Amino acid sequence: RKEVEQDPGPFNVPEGATVAFNCTYSNSASQSFFWYRQDCRKEPKLLMSVYSSGNEDGRFTAQLNRASQYISLLIRDSKLSDSATYLCVVRGGYNKLIFGAGTRLAVHP
């Protein structure tokens, strides 16, 4: 089983749509979780950390289900500028980050 698994997509949605991404992780001892965003041929950028109680940052909502080892990201009111690859990331030992392969989002007018 892969350490971090994501649906690769692509998700093609119109502006204004709500879209949800899911991710599962294999190590039940993992403690820290993140969503990063990566634009084509650019570096990953931290979008948000994911907390046990769930957290929201503007149009973005992240949820964590430890029992199911499942992380989600919800984007409301999608913008053209949200088009990117969204990376589910789990902290491993010595603070290294373990990346999923990413889910591609394309928002169209």
Partner 1 sequence: EPEVTQTPSHQVTQMGQEVILRCVPISNHLYFYWYRQILGQKVEFLVSFYNNEISEKSEIFDDQFSVERPDGSNFTLKIRSTKLEDSAMYFCASAREGPEAFFGQGTRLTVV
Q: How far is CA 33 from CA 13, 58, 72, in A?
A: 26, 19, 10
Query: How many Å apart are CA 94 and CA 85, to the nearest integer?
Result: 26
- At its nearest, how many Å lie between partner 1 and the CB of residue 47? 12
- For partner 1, the closer of residues 75 and 88 by Cβ is 88
Q: Does 34 bind partner 1 (CB under 8 A)?
A: yes
Q: Which of 22, 38, 19 is nearest to 77 (CA)?
A: 19
Q: How many residues bind partner 1 (CB under 8 A)?
A: 23
Residues near partner 1 (CB under 8 A) are 32, 34, 38, 41-46, 49, 87, 91-102
